[in-house]
Amino acid sequence: MKKTITVLGATGSVGSSTLDLIERAPDQFEVLALTANCDVDKLAAAALRTRAKRAVVADESCLDRLRDALAGSGIEACGGEAAICDSARMGADWTMAAIVGTAGLKPVMAALEGGRTVALANKESLVSAGAVMMAAASRHGATLLPVDSEHNAVFQCLDRSAPQAVRRIILTASGGPFRQTPLEAMQSITPAQAVAHPNWSMGAKISVDSATMMNKGLELIEAYHLFPVGADKLDVLVHAQSVIHSMVEYIDGSVLAQLGSPDMRTPIAYALAWPERMETPSEPLDLARIGRLNFEAPDYVRFPALKLAREALAAGGARPAVLNAANEVAVAGFLSGAVGFLEIAAIVADTLDRYDPAAPETLDAVLAIDAEARRYAVERVKDCVV
């Protein structure tokens, strides 16, 4: 029996890596639905190649073009957020959640309702709605598998039967492209410089998050929800080479690590084949060539976004949702040229100072907090002078 697959965010970096693996094993996988925002050319090509049953664009103004591109193929073309959520509910055995940002939250929740397996790349949804999402996964009997390379590494190293034996979970961080850039040179960093990650090829938003190290902060919050060992047992270690993807330290002094080339197809394949393993075209790791592995402590002064995320995690409640929404607005502002690099963290900090709602208990409450935090952040962006 083939495993049925839906890929939410099929045209992005993670979505494309997922399709690459699926297309290498057509006898094992059958594609139900592929979704995108508005990249019709890429979506239609992927739907035709994989003989998907349905292709969906979130942006309804792109639907006519999608219909034209799929005319005569028998593939159903749909548009709008509701259609994305319907597709997430089609009952695929395995759903890749790879929409970027909180736009992925409702589709992830819809996919969890099916009670099957959801491979989670879309960290922003878990940061915003952690408690609500984990409760939904458990209520519907769904399996949530981490795809983020760090969390996938922890998942591979963690003895889930003995969480009390964990002393620390250590998330490794590359430190991004500006790990050694003098602080005074950081304000003039351009979007093109920020998206050029030294090790990983990723979408624009996560690349900027890596450059500010907000990405590692979001990952701390993500880890808190996925691995219930407590926030005080979550650590960050800078490891610029991105060879060790994360580690688990146990009370007996053992430290288990997962290593591999920086290629998202490895963690995606682990989630796709879980609980088995499958072959990937990822380059084998050549440790003799690498020679040595280097580590350093994170610099919370140069990377205030990481500190803000740690504080939001410690405070809990709605703080992570506000942090995430403000960061999405600030990063979009930076990518459009309206916000300087160092202002990204400042916008997040100001939004957190000005807006402190009560903890959300429902999806609607999370979405309302997200919308309000964005409103504060957008106002703050207007004050920026670049």
Q: Which one of 89, 116, 123, 265 is in contact with ligand NDP (CB under 6 A)?
A: 123
Tokens of 149: 């390379």
Q: Which is nearer to ligand NDP, 35 or 351 (CB)?
A: 35
Q: Which is nearer to ligand NDP, 145 or 350 (CB)?
A: 145
Residue 109 CB-density burial (10 A; 0-12 exposed, 13-18 middle, 19+ buried):
buried
Per-residue binding letters, 282-301, with ligand NDP (x by CB under 6 A)? --------------------
Length of the chain: 386
Query: Looking only at residues 144 through 183 of this chain, which bind ligand NDP when binding is defined by CB under 6 A?
Result: 148
Q: Which is nearer to ligand NDP, 100 or 238 (CB)?
A: 100
Q: Which is nearer to ligand NDP, 4 or 122 (CB)?
A: 122
Q: Which one of 130, 203, 217, 340 is in contact with ligand NDP (CB under 6 A)?
A: 203
Q: Which is nearer to ligand NDP, 344 or 350 (CB)?
A: 344
Q: Binding of ligand NDP at residue 15 (CB under 6 A)?
A: yes
Q: Binding of ligand NDP at residue 264 (CB under 6 A)?
A: yes
Query: Looking only at residues 78 through 97 of this chain, which bind ligand NDP when binding is defined by CB under 6 A?
Result: 84
Tokens of 273: 């084949």
Separation between Cα atoms, residue 311 and residue 321, nearest integer Å: 13
The strand pairing partners of 143, in sequence order, are: 117
Q: Binding of ligand NDP at residue 38 (CB under 6 A)?
A: yes
Least Cα distance to 246 among 136, 360, 168, 324 occurs for 168
Q: Binding of ligand NDP at residue 331 (CB under 6 A)?
A: no
The strand pairing partners of 237, in sequence order, are: 172
Smallest distance, Å, CB 118 to ligand NDP? 13
Tokens of 301: 């002064």
CB 33 within 8 A of CB 6: yes
Q: Which is nearer to ligand NDP, 4 or 87 (CB)?
A: 87
Q: Binding of ligand NDP at residue 200 (CB under 6 A)?
A: yes
Separation between Cα atoms, residue 99 and residue 166, nearest integer Å: 32
Residue 365 CB-density burial (10 A; 0-12 exposed, 13-18 middle, 19+ buried):
middle
CB 10 within 8 A of CB 22: no
Q: Binding of ligand NDP at residue 31 (CB under 6 A)?
A: no
Separation between Cα atoms, residue 215 and residue 324, nearest integer Å: 10
> In the complex, which residues of this chain contact ligand NDP (CB under 6 A)?
9-15, 36-39, 58, 84, 98-100, 103, 121-124, 148, 200, 202-206, 264
